[in-house]
Chain A
Amino acid sequence: MIPAGFEYHRPRDLEGVLALLDEHGDDARVMAGGHSLIPMMKLRMADVPHLIDLQAVDGLAGIEIGADEIRLGAMVTQTEIIGHAGLAEAAPILREAALQIADPQVRNMGTVGGNIANGDPGNDMPGLMQCLDARFTLVGSGGVREVAAREFYEAAYMTAREDEEVLTAVTIPRPAGGHAYEKQKRKIGDYATAAAAVQIAKEGRACASAAIAMTNLSDTPVFSEGAGAALVGTAVDAAALAAASEAMLGDIDPTEDNRGPVAFKRHVAGVILRRAIERAWSRA
């Protein structure tokens, strides 16, 4: 409950953040909403001599809905995602997923950037962003680069972000077709036993494209290219669902914990994926 002491910084611009990161190196951590970092600091599992609060930094807020792409500032909260009418129209899967994350108080503080950058496989946004083929903007003192969500996650708490970089924004191609974020959890606020993000486009009676990503079933989110490919060209019938499920099960690698043993998680993953595909298809 009692975090260790730290020096607190509240820079007003990104230059200020980068200067602090360069000065303090490993001793510094940026904080967005604080709803993963502070709990870890309270358990003394995170040691943060210099805490850099991003709340006053210019340019990290805002939701922009473009003709082809959507841009979310890293400090956009889950509550803002849920409440944004334009976003609900352009990419309704974001609202559907955000409503399954944590609880009202946590959603008022927790940000999309923090959810993505945290690197905990339990977080829901990473798989969702892989499904949507989002790109993450990373800014360091050496410059700006973009990393695809599908390339970003390396292992639990290990991402492509360097220590001296800040994730500033998420860019999402406007999704087409039907969507679903289906999550099995023990109760409100729990990380998923298994969750699936699905976005499907239809042409005539057949599936034209399908993107599928799974949450909390490996030490990273899992984008299952094979599961999506198994649906393309089909009428998303029982055989196609079985093929997609089989491909997905080949890509995940769950571990046993108090959400259940491996066999159970694999079973739940199949059920959740089928439900997600069926709902997305019904909306396509």
Chain B
Amino acid sequence: MTKKMHITITVNGKEEEFLAEPRELLIYTLRERLNITGPHIGCDTSHCGACTVTLNGKSVKSCTMFVAQADGAEVETIEGIGGPDALHPLQVAFKEHHGLQCGFCTPGMITRATKLLEEIPNPTEEEIRFGMAGNICRCTGYQNIVKSIQAAAAEMSAAKEAAE
């Protein structure tokens, strides 16, 4: 057993402090320690992206990061993006355009899509498919995920224009 470290991370705006072995993967910190169970584990080779969260503003796969590396970081998960009473436009669009079936990839998909739409506010279909390529889905065949992201992009752009 290696020495435990004192870790401080901010998850969805809330500061969390605890002792953990450095080898603890961030996905386990979120799911098992902090009970934030939206991000999922779909593989053990860093391919599927079901564990995607936003770390210091960037999309990362939380299965490929030790909690020790994330000490001091800010993390956002699907739970911080929106809840039942205030859904994010992407969450609304995934619902309306049938961008999910089993829902296992969805937290990672939507979390990644929030950053994609910051990087490219009005992406083409090709840019969406390429920008989401780190996230695997077994159910949808991706088509409706693309539609959902396109719909959310349109909605968010319209809202931004209205605000200006």
Contact = CB atoms under 8 A, between A and B. Distances in A.
Interface in A144-158: none
Contacts of A268: none
Interface in A26-77: 34-35, 38-39, 41-43, 51, 53, 55
Given A5-B1, A39-B45, A43-B44, A106 B65 contact: no
Contacts of A1: 25, 41, 44, 63
B65 A7 contact: no
A103 B134 contact: yes
Contacts of B47: 189
A105 B59 contact: yes
Contacts of B52: 105
Given A38-B66, A188-B133, A106 B46 contact: yes
B22 interface: yes
B133 A103 contact: yes
Interface residues of B, number: 33
A25 interface: no
Given A34-B69, A39-B45, A105-B49, A3 B60 contact: no
B35 interface: no
B134 A106 contact: yes
B37 interface: no
A109 interface: yes
Given A104-B131, A104-B134, A109 B23 contact: no
Contact of A109 (B22, B64, B116, B131): B64
A8 B22 contact: yes
A108 interface: yes
Given A7-B3, A104-B112, A34 B49 contact: no
Contacts of A239: none
A8 B134 contact: no
B3 A53 contact: no
A100 to B, nearest CB: 11
Interface string B63-92: 111101101000000000000000000000
Contact of A105 (B2, B21, B60): B60
B158 interface: no
Contacts of A103: 49, 133-134
B58 interface: yes
A6 B4 CA distance: 10
A4 interface: yes
B5 interface: yes
Contact of A104 (B21, B59, B63): B59
A34 B65 contact: yes
Interface string B3-43: 10100000000000000011101000000000000000100
B2 A35 contact: no
A5 B21 contact: yes
A48 to B, nearest CB: 10
A34 B2 contact: no
Contacts of B116: 104
Contacts of A35: 46, 64
Contacts of B61: 105-106
B56 to A, nearest CB: 10
B130 to A, nearest CB: 8
Contacts of A6: 2, 22-23
Interface of B: 1-3, 5, 21-23, 25, 41, 44-47, 49, 52, 58-61, 63-66, 68-69, 71, 112, 116, 130-134
23 contacts: A1-B63, A3-B66, A4-B23, A5-B1, A6-B2, A6-B22, A8-B66, A8-B68, A34-B66, A38-B64, A39-B45, A42-B25, A42-B44, A51-B22, A53-B69, A55-B69, A103-B133, A104-B132, A105-B61, A105-B134, A106-B64, A108-B60, A188-B130
Given A39-B44, A109-B65, 7 more contacts: A2-B23, A7-B2, A34-B66, A51-B22, A104-B112, A109-B60, A189-B134
